[in-house]
Amino acid sequence: MPTPRNRAGGSLNTAELYQFFGDYEVRGHSPCYEQWCRGIAGDADVLALIEQLPQEKRQPNLILGAARYRGVEPSDYPDFKAWLTEHWDRVAEVALVQRTQTNEPGRAAVLLPVLAQLSGPLSLIEVGASAGLCLYPDRYSYRYDNGMSIDPVDDVSSVVLSCTTSGNPPLPIELPTVVWRAGVDLNPLDVNDVDDMRWLESLVWPEQQHRLQRLRDAAAIARLDPPNILAGDLVDSVADLVVAAPPDSTAVVFGSAVLAYLDPESRRVFEQTVRELQCHWIANEGAGVIASVAARLPEPTNRTRGRFALSLDGEPLAYAGAHGQSLDWLNGTVT
C-alpha cells in the first residue's frame, strides 16, 4: 500500500493507519474490511492489542490477512472484535512471521502497455516478487475497455484481466516475447506449497472472489513453468539478476507496491542502483513512494490516495488502480 502521511507530513499512528486503509484502500472494494478498519480505528481495546506488535507488523493488510488465515469469517464489527480478542495470540503469531505479499496478477494489465513498447525479447526481473505471479504477462489474456482483446498466440488464457483506461495508453496488438524470468523477495513463496498459497489467498480481501479465482488460475500457470525467485534483499540482489539475464535480451526490472516497505534512504539507494544498470526499470508504486517520480506527477499526492504511479526509468507515465483495474495515461511517451 502507499506510504500514508498525516496532515503534518508525519507517519500515521495505528488508529489513523486503519482509518486511512478503510477510507482510501478498501472503500468501494470490500465493505467487510472497510467496516472492520473503521471499527478498529475507534476501538482502544483492539488498538492496544495491535500495538503490542512491532510497528512494521501493525499494517491492516497483514493483521486482517493473519486473522483470515486463522479462520475468521466476514461479519459485522462487534462479532469480528469478539473473534479477534479470543484468537489474538494465534493471529499475532502469524503476523510476526509473515509479510504482506499481495501477489496480484491483475497488475500485469497496467504493466503490459509499457512492456510491449520495449525492444524484445524481454528478460523480466521482479523485485518483491512474492510467488512471482506478475512474471507471466505473456501468458495472460487482457480486455481493455475500448473493446481491445489481447491473448496469447495459442489460445485465450485461463487468466483474463480487465482494465478500464483513459488518456489513450499505447495498448499493444500482441503480447511481448519473454525469454527469461527471475525475481527476488525477502521471503519467496512457492506456488507448489499448499501453505504458501493459503497465505496468499488470505491476503485477498473478502467479497473479491474474482481476485481469488484469478490468483488460483495464475498460480496454476506458474506451476507449469515455476519462476526462479531468490531469497534476499532487493537492493543487494538486483544487479546480479540483471547481469544474469541472457545477453541477447532486454532486461526489465519491475515491481509493484514493494518500495513502500523500504525506508526512504533505501529507496534512494535502490533507484540509484537500478538506474546505473543495463536495464529498463518499471515502477508501479504508491504515488508518493518514489520522491523523484512524485515530484513530476501532475497532481499532489494527497489528491491521488489509493492510486499508484506507473513510471518507466523514472518518467511518470500513468496513474494505476492498485490491483490493475484501471490505467489513466498521462502525456508522457515510452521511448
Amino acid 157: pLDDT: 94
Asked whether residue 90 falls in the same domain as residue 124, the answer is: no
Q: Which candidate, 140, 148, 164, places its Cα nearest to that of 327?
A: 164
The reported pLDDT for the residue numbered 3 is 46
> Residue 39 sits in which domain range?
14-97
Q: Answer for the pair 167, 316: CB distance below 8 angstroms, yes or no.
A: no
Residues 84 and 126 in one domain: no
Neighbouring CB atoms inside 10 A of 169's CB total 22
Q: What is the phi/psi pair of residue 294, to 5°? A: -55, -35
Query: How is residue 114 written as a grid cell?
Result: 509499457
Return d(Cα 20, Cα 28) in angstroms, integer.
14
At residue 142, the pLDDT reads 97
Q: Specify whether 171 is located in the same domain as 70.
A: no
CATH of residue 169: 3.40.50
> Are 141 and 84 in a shared domain?
no
pLDDT value, residue 303:
76
- What is the pairing mode between strands 160-166 and 315-321? unpaired
Cβ count near 288 (within 10 Å): 20
The pLDDT of residue 111: 98
- φ, ψ at 317 (rounded to 5°): -115, -35
**Does 62 lie in the same domain as 117?**
no
Q: Is residue 111 part of a domain?
A: yes
Burial 218-243 (b: 16+ CB within 10 A, else e): bbebbeeeebbbbeeebbebbeebbe
Q: How many domains does the chain have?
A: 2
In the prediction, which pLDDT does 5 show?
Answer: 47
Task: Could you list the beta-strand ranges (E) of 237-334.
Answer: 250-256, 280-286, 307-312, 315-321, 326-329
Cis peptide before 74 (omega within 30 of 0): no
| 97, 131, 155 - which closes a domain | 97
Local confidence pLDDT in tens for the 335 residues of the chain? 444 544 334 578 999 999 999 998 899 889 999 999 999 999 999 999 999 999 999 999 999 999 999 999 999 999 999 999 999 999 999 999 998 887 899 999 999 999 999 998 999 999 999 999 999 999 999 999 867 899 998 789 999 999 999 999 999 999 999 999 999 999 999 999 999 999 999 999 999 899 999 999 999 999 999 989 999 999 999 999 999 999 999 999 999 999 988 999 999 999 999 999 999 999 999 999 999 999 999 988 777 777 899 999 999 999 999 889 999 999 754 44
| Whole-number pLDDT of residue 178 | 97
pLDDT at 7: 39
Which pLDDT belongs to residue 146?
A: 64
